[in-house]
Structure 1
Amino acid sequence: MTASSPAVGGLACPPPGGRSQAATHAPRDRGHGRRERGGVTAELAIVLPGVVLLLLALLTAASAALTQVRVADAARAGARAVALGEPHTVIIDMTARLAGEGASVRVASDGPFVVVEVARDLPGPLRLTDLVARATARAVPEPGAP
């Protein structure tokens, strides 16, 4: 202990001025907190529309990717069915059903290959654009297939 703050009963006594050093700090400025009240709400109001737009863009991109995968799978399934000798009407119906609503299917021959082309407009907001999910699959007909 220092000479200015003698201990009494094991406790430190305040200095001769009457106030301890902990009490000499300036009190907090209470008005500062009032000026910032609602700051988080304002920041959230500014940021939230951007977050919503970003989420919408991600969901739209995921939907477009899923549509492209469905169209590609449908084209491959159609090409396999043609290679196995299924009738063209069955192939077109099956492929259009696999690709989804509004899909167009074309079956053609290209030399030794059979070509199945599938196209479908993209869903959601991308329907308003000229973007189309498109896939082509080729297969060689199996020997002895009708």
Structure 2
Amino acid sequence: MRRRLLDDRGSVTAEFAVALPAIVLVLMLSLGALAAGMTAVRLQHAAAESARLFGRGDDDRARAVVAGIGATASVGREDTLVCVDLSAPIPGPVPLGPLTARSCALDGGG
């Protein structure tokens, strides 16, 4: 009888069952952070490129850049600058708010 109380059969299975959800959670958060970082870099690059294109007066190509990454854009002109604000949702299984990027360039296109 005493031998059965000290038996640790099944303890590895129980520990695995407790640790598995934590491992999955850490993996999901890591993938979400990676996706957010990649989206932020793409947004900033697209905002800078489209601001330069809007500044040159090449509106069609600037809109194509924004549409190519699946973002929404708002364009504003202030004094001698054209500023582009981009917004896009973070892809992935974790629903997070949208990321935004802003870039301005000299307005030479009129």
Deviation per CA, 1:70-107: give whole Å up to 9, x if none: 11111011122233x1421221112221xx23x11222
Distance in 1 of aligned mates of 2:66 and 2:83: 13
Aligned: 1:109 with 2:77: yes
Q: How many residues align?
A: 108
What TM-score results when the alignment is normalised by the length of structure 1?
A: 0.64
Aligned: 1:141 with 2:73: no
Other-structure match for 1:92: 63
Q: Which of the numbers 22, 33, 46 marks the counterpart of 1:50?
A: 22
Q: Which has the higher helix share?
A: 2
**Consecutive unaligned residues in structure 2, runs of 5 or more:** none
Q: Are the counterparts in 1 of residues 28 and 94 from structure 2 also a CA contact under 8 Å?
A: no
Q: Which of the numbers 67, 73, 77 marks the counterpart of 2:39?
A: 67
**Consecutive unaligned residues in structure 1, runs of 5 or more:** 1-30
Amino acid at match of 1:132: P
Distance in 2 of aligned mates of 1:94 and 1:47: 44
Larger Rg: 1
Query: Relative CO higher for 1 or 2, CA cutoff 8 Å, sep ≥ 6?
Result: 2
Among all aligned residue pairs of Structure 1 and Structure 2, give the percentage whose two residues are the same amino acid.
Answer: 30
Amino acid at match of 2:85: E
Supply the RMSD in Å over aligned alpha carbons.
Answer: 2.3
Q: Are the counterparts in 1 of residues 83 and 103 from structure 2 also a CA contact under 8 Å?
A: yes
